[in-house]
Amino acid sequence: MDLKWVDLIVDRHQEKRTALVSILHDIQDRYKYLPEEALRMVASRLHMDINEIYGVATFYKSFSLIPKGKHSITLCLGTACHVRGGPKILRELKNFLHIEPGQTTPDRQFSLNVVNCLGVCAIGPVMSIDGKFYGEMNPMRAKRLIEKNNRKRSGVKS
Amino acid sequence: MRKIKTASDLEKWRQDIIKKQKRDEIVVSVCGGTGCHAYGCKKVRDQFAKAIKKNGFMDKKIRLRFTGCRGFCERGPIVTIQPQGVFYQRVQEKDVDLIVSETINQGKIIDRLLYEDPNTKRKIDSEKEIPFYKAQHRLVLGKNGLIEPTKIEDYIGVGGYQSLTKALFEMKPEEIIEEIKTSGLRGRGGAGFPTGKKWEDCRKAQGNMKYLICNCDEGDPGAYMDRSLLEGNPHSVLEGMIIGAYAIGGSHGYIYVRHEYPLACKNAEIAIKQARRAGLLGKDILGSGFDFDIEIAKGGGAFVCGESTALISSIEGRVGEPRSKQIHTVTRGLWGKPTNLNNVETWANVPLIIEKGSKWFASIGTEKSKGTKIFSLVGKVKNTGLVEVPMGITLNEIIFGIGGGAKNGRQIKAVQTGGPSGGCIPASLFDLPVDFDSLTQVGSMMGSGGMIVMDEGTCMVDVAKYFVHFLEEESCGKCLPCREGLKRMGQILDGITEGRGDEETLMLLEDLSQVVGDTSLCGLGKTAPNPVLSALRYFRPEFEAHIYQKKCPAGVCTSLIQYSISEDCTGCGACAKVCPMKAIEGEKKQIHRILTELCSKCGSCKDVCKSNAVIVQ
Ligand SMILES: Cc1cc2nc3c(=O)[nH]c(=O)nc-3n(C[C@H](O)[C@H](O)[C@H](O)COP(=O)(O)O)c2cc1C
Ligand code: FES
C-alpha cells in the first residue's frame, strides 16, 4: 500500500491533533477506508497512542476500517424519511443485495450504509449513490437505480 | 477583491457593488440548495449559462445567480427572474431555452412552469402570493434568494457587514451584550437558553484566551435549516460570530460542521477565506485593533456530538463523549478555556438585532420567545420545505396554512417536534402557539426545528420505537442508565410491535423511562424517554391495540399485518408491475392476488392502486 498520501494529508493539517477527525476523513476519501498502516502512521506523526486513534476511528459512524465497495449506497432512515417509507426501501435493498447495512457485496460492487438524515428531508425518502442524491424513492425505483449502476461494471478489479 | 482597512472603505465598496449591480437589467436566480440539486438544478444552471452566452443579449445585461436554498424544496428546481419577479418551479434543463426566448426576451410568462394552488387551481406567478411563502416571515432565511453564497460582494451589496461596523465603532462590548439581552434572543439549538446571558457569563469568565463555537452538527434527523443557512448565507453566520467575539472578548472561533454536509463545509470555507482577504477576519479587523479568526472543524456523524461538551471533545480530536456540566463551558470549555457555544441560527440572528435594534426584534414573537424560528416542515404534508415564521404562530397555521395540509386526502394525526429529545403532538392540540415554553408544556420541545408531520398511515408505536433505537445507537455508552436502559426500552418496544406485549409491558416501559430520564449524565439520555412518554400520553390506544388485539391500526408493523386485494380490483396490473418481489399475479382485467409467502409487505402495491383495492389487515 502506498502511504505517501497519509504523509501529505497530515502535512496539510499541520500535524494538528485538533484536525484528527478531518485527517481521518481525508484518508478515508483517498483510500475509501481507514487502513491500519495509515492509522499507525497518523499515530506516530501526531505523537498519539494508536489505541486512542482506534477509539476515535470506531466512535464516529462515518469511518470504516474495512474496504468499501465500488459504489456506495446510502439510505436515509431519518424521521422524515422513516415516516415516508424508508424502512420498506431498506427491506428491499437487503433482499436485493443480500447484505446488511454496513456490509459490502462479495463482488465488491456495492456497500450499503444507513444514516440518520442526509439533510434533504423535504423530498424523502432519500437515497444517495456515490454522493448523488435521489429523492422520493420507493422500493422499485431503488432497485432500478442499483441495477442501472450494476451495469456500469467496467474496469473493476477483484 | 479589495482589502478594507476602515469602515468607510467598506461603505465605498458597497456603493460600488450596488452601482455595478444596477447595470444588470435582468437577474436569473437558480436555486442551488441540496433539494434542488437532487432534482437536477445544476444542469438547469449550466443550460442557462450556455443559452445566455449563445444569445449574446446585446442590449440587455443579464446576471445568472446560483443561490442557496429557497425553502420550497418540494417544488424544485426553482428559478426566479427579476425584475418581473416571476417564480418558476419544477424547471428542467429542457425548459431553459423557452424561458430565455419567452420570458427573458419578450417578458411573457410560461403558465406551465408556474405554481398552481391545489385548492383554487389558480396559477400564481409571484413568490409572495404563493400560500407557502405568504404567511412566512423570512428575516434570517430571506437573503438566501438574493445572494450567491460564494460571492462576498453579493452579501456586502445587501447590507452585509454593516452591523459589524456598527458594533465595532459605535458600541462598547457591554452595550452589545445588553442589546442582545434586551432583544430576548434565545438559543435556537434546542434548549432556548438566553443568548445575552450566556455571552455575559463568558465575558465575565476569567482567562485571556476565549473561544467561540458555532454548532452546525445538526444531528436532529428531519431538520436541515442549519445546513441551508450555512450553505446559503455563510457570511451572515461569520458576521454574527465576529460581533459575538468582540462583545465577549473571544480570540478564536470554530464552526463545527457534520461531515454529511460537504457543501456547507465548502461554502463556509470559501466565506472564511474571502472575509480574511477583505480584512473582516484576522488581525486588526477594519482597523479597529480587534483580532479574531475562525476555522472549520469537521464532525464524524455522531448525534451526541451536537451536545456542547461532547462537541468540545470532538474538536479537541478525541472521542465525542459528554462530561458532567457542573462546571459550565462558559468558564471551562475548549482546551479548558472559557468557551461560548451557539447554534448556527442563533449566530445568524445577531447581525439583524444589531442592525435593526433590540426593540424591533422584541416586537416579533411572544412574551418569552422573541423573533422568528426556521422549521423544516417535512413528512406527510403537501408542501414540504423550510419555513421561517414568527414565534407564537399556531401549529395549524404552519401545517395547514403554509404546509397545505395532508397529502392524498389522508388525515393528519400528529406532528413530531424537537427530534429525538422531543415528542409527538396530536392534531387535537394544533391550535397551540409555537414557542419554547408551550411546546415543552405539552411534552415536546422546540429542538432545533424539525417538524415532521404524520398521518393515519404512521404508527405511533413504530415512531416511538424508531427514536429509542436511534438513541440507543447514538448513546456514547459512557453512563449506564442511557446505555442499558435504552437497550431494554428498545427490546420492549420491539416486543410490542411484534405482538409479544402483555398487561405489564406498558407499566414497565413507563418505569424504565422515568429512571433513564432521571439518572442519565447528559441531555441525550435525560430527554430520551420523551418520544415514548409523549406517544403513550396521546396515543395509548394504539399501544393497546398492538398488545391486546395484536393489530397495528396504521398498518405499519409487519409482524402484525397482511396484504390482500379486494373485489374492487379492476385488474389494471399497476401493482404487479411495481411489486419488487413479483408476489402479485392475475390476468389483465381480472382481480389480482397477493402470494403471501413471497410478499415482503413493502406496500408498493397500495401506493399505486388507483381503486384502493389493496387492503392491509
Ligand atoms: C444530545 C444532544 C444533541 C444536540 N444536538 C445539537 C445540534 O445538533 N445542534 C445544535 O445547535 N445544538 C444541539 N444541542 C444543543 C447544544 O448542546 C447547545 O445547547 C446549543 O448548541 C447551544 O446553542 P444555542 O444556545 O444557540 O441554542 C444538542 C444537545 C444534546 C443534549
Ligand atoms: S430525514 Fe432523510 S434526509 Fe433528513
**In this predicted structure, what is the pLDDT of residue A151?**
72
Establish if A17 belongs to a structural domain. yes
**In this predicted structure, what is the pLDDT of residue B55?**
75
For domain B372-455, give the CATH number. Answer: 3.10.20.600
Between CA A152 and CA B144 the distance in angstroms is: 38
Asked if residue A106 and residue A41 are part of one domain, the reply reads no
**In this predicted structure, what is the pLDDT of residue B612?**
87
- In ligand 1, the atom with minimum distance to the C-alpha of B474 is 1
Between CA B161 and CA B148 the distance in angstroms is: 16
Asked if residue A92 and residue A30 are part of one domain, the reply reads no
**In this predicted structure, what is the pLDDT of residue A157?**
35
Ligand 2 pocket (Cβ < 6 Å) reads A 76, 78-81, 117-121, 124, 126; B 221-222
Nearest CA to ligand 1 atom 30: B307
Asked if residue A42 and residue A117 are part of one domain, the reply reads no
**In this predicted structure, what is the pLDDT of residue B601?**
85
Q: Would an 8 Å CB–CB cutoff place B603 in contact with chain A? A: yes
Q: How many CA atoms lie within 13 A of B156 on its CB side?
A: 27
Asked if residue A48 and residue A13 are part of one domain, the reply reads yes
Helix, coil or strand: residue B126:
strand
Contacts of B458 in chain A (CB under 8 A): 83
Band (pLDDT 50/70/90 cuts) for residue A156 is: very low
**DSSP string over B136-191:** ---TTTGGGGT--TT-HHHHHHTTTTHHHHHHHHH--HHHHHHHHHHHT-B-TTSS
Asked if residue A77 and residue A136 are part of one domain, the reply reads yes
Q: Give the one of B222, B317, B385 whose C-beta lies nearest to A18's C-beta.
A: B317
Nearest CA to ligand 2 atom 1: A78
For domain B26-82+86-125, give the CATH number. Answer: 3.40.30.10
Ligand 1 pocket (Cβ < 6 Å) reads B 187-191, 193, 215, 217-220, 304, 306-308, 341-343, 346, 448, 522-524
Going from the C-alpha of B566 to that of each of B443, B574, B606, the distances in angstroms are: 41, 15, 12
Contacts of A88 in chain B (CB under 8 A): 601-604
Q: Are B415 and B451 in contact (CB under 8 A)?
A: yes
pLDDT mean by block of 10 residues, chain B; 617 residues: 86 94 89 92 94 76 92 94 92 94 90 91 91 94 94 96 96 97 95 95 94 94 94 97 97 93 94 96 95 92 89 90 82 93 98 97 96 95 95 96 90 94 94 94 91 94 95 91 96 94 92 95 92 95 94 90 91 89 90 90 85 88
Crossing angle of helices B195-204/B173-183, nearest 10°?
150
Q: Would an 8 Å CB–CB cutoff place B376 in contact with chain A? A: yes
Going from the C-alpha of B574 to that of each of B206, B583, B588, B604, the distances in angstroms are: 70, 13, 10, 10
Asked if residue A128 and residue A148 are part of one domain, the reply reads yes
Q: Are B475 and B486 in contact (CB under 8 A)?
A: yes
**ipTM of the predicted structure?**
0.88
Nearest CA to ligand 1 atom 8: B218
Which residue is associated with the grid cell 411489486?
A: B579
Q: Nearest residue of A to residue B608 by CA position?
A: A138
Is it true that domain B460-549 has CATH number 3.40.640.10? no
Between CA B296 and CA B216 the distance in angstroms is: 10
**In this predicted structure, what is the pLDDT of residue B149?**
96
- Which DSSP state fits B365? B
Q: Would an 8 Å CB–CB cutoff place B452 in contact with chain A? A: yes
Question: Of A59, A87, A105, which closes a domain?
Answer: A59
Which residues have C-beta within 8 Å of that of residue B112, sequence separation ≥ 6? none
C-alpha grid cell for residue A143?
432497485
Strand order in the sheet with B339-343: B293-298, B252-257, B211-216, B339-343
Establish if A114 belongs to a structural domain. yes
Establish if A37 belongs to a structural domain. yes
* A-B C-beta contacts closer than 8 Å: 166
| AA identity, residue B428 | S
pLDDT at A45 over 80: yes
- Surface-to-core class of residue B239, CB atoms within 10 Å of its CB (0-12 exposed, 13-18 middle, 19+ buried): buried
Show the CA angle centred on residue B348, arms to residues B345 and B353, nearest 5°. Answer: 120
Nearest CA to ligand 1 atom 17: B307
**Ligand nearest to the backbone CA of A82:** 2
Q: Are B534 and B582 in contact (CB under 8 A)?
A: no
**In this predicted structure, what is the pLDDT of residue A152?**
63
pLDDT tens string B385-428: 999 999 999 999 999 999 999 987 889 999 999 999 999 999 99
Which residues have C-beta within 8 Å of that of residue B200, sequence separation ≥ 6? B177, B181
**DSSP string over B220-248:** STT--HHHHHHHH-HHHHHHHHHHHHHHH
B300 min Cα distance to partner chain A (Å): 5
Asked if residue A49 and residue A77 are part of one domain, the reply reads no
* Cβ–Cβ gap B578/A140 under 8 Å: yes
* Cβ–Cβ gap A21/B600 under 8 Å: no
Of A25, A48, A97, which Cα lies nearest the Cα of B580? A97
Between CA B292 and CA B282 the distance in angstroms is: 5
From B201, B229, B308, mutation site for ligand 1 pocket: most ligand atoms within 8 A of C-beta: B308
pLDDT tens string B528-557: 999 999 999 999 999 999 999 999 999 899
From B199, B215, B237, B261, mutation site for ligand 1 pocket: most ligand atoms within 8 A of C-beta: B215
B45 min Cα distance to partner chain A (Å): 17
Of B424, B407, B381, which Cα lies nearest the Cα of B540? B424
Between CA A127 and CA A75 the distance in angstroms is: 4
- In ligand 2, the atom with minimum distance to the C-alpha of B224 is 4
Asked if residue A76 and residue A143 are part of one domain, the reply reads yes
**Ligand nearest to the backbone CA of B221:** 2
Question: Of A35, A59, A83, which closes a domain?
Answer: A59
**In this predicted structure, what is the pLDDT of residue B34?**
87
* Cβ–Cβ gap A25/B298 under 8 Å: yes
Q: Are B255 and B267 in contact (CB under 8 A)?
A: no
Q: How many domains in chain A?
A: 2
- pLDDT average, residue stretch A2-30: 90
Establish if A48 belongs to a structural domain. yes
Asked if residue A45 and residue A76 are part of one domain, the reply reads no
* Cβ–Cβ gap A96/B224 under 8 Å: no
Which residue is associated with the grid cell 406485549?
A: B501
**In this predicted structure, what is the pLDDT of residue B119?**
82
**Peptide linkage before A125 cis (omega within 30 of 0):** yes
Q: Are A99 and A75 in contact (CB under 8 A)?
A: no
Asked if residue A91 and residue A36 are part of one domain, the reply reads no
Count of CB atoms situated within 10 Å of the CB of A46: 19
pTM (two decimals): 0.92
Q: Give the one of B315, B319, B450 whose C-beta lies nearest to A55's C-beta.
A: B319
Largest interatomic CA distance in chain B = 82
* Cβ–Cβ gap A95/B320 under 8 Å: no
What's CA B399's distance to the chain center, in Å?
A: 15
C-alpha grid cell for residue B579?
411489486
**DSSP string over B449-488:** SEEEEEETTS-HHHHHHHHHHHHHHH--S-SHHHHHHHHH
- pLDDT average, residue stretch A120-135: 92
pLDDT tens string B130-171: 999 999 999 999 999 999 999 999 999 999 999 999 999 999
**DSSP string over A40-51:** HHHHHHHT--HH
Asked if residue A148 and residue A75 are part of one domain, the reply reads yes
Query: Could you tell me the distance, in angstroms and rounded to a whole number, from the CA of residue B379 to the centre of ligand 2?
Result: 9
Read off the CATH number of the domain in which A77 is found: 3.40.30.10
pLDDT at A154 over 50: no
**Peptide linkage before B118 cis (omega within 30 of 0):** no
Radius of gyration of chain A (CA): 17
Of 3.30.70.20, 3.40.50.11540, 3.40.50.300, 1.10.8.80, which CATH number belongs to B562-616? Answer: 3.30.70.20
Asked if residue A48 and residue A76 are part of one domain, the reply reads no
Q: Which domain holds residue A34?
A: 4-59
Between CA B203 and CA B216 the distance in angstroms is: 23
Q: Where are the domains of chain B?
A: 26-82+86-125, 152-362, 372-455, 460-549, 562-616
**In this predicted structure, what is the pLDDT of residue B57?**
67
For domain B152-362, give the CATH number. Answer: 3.40.50.11540
Count of CB atoms situated within 10 Å of the CB of B284: 11
Contacts of B261 in chain A (CB under 8 A): 119
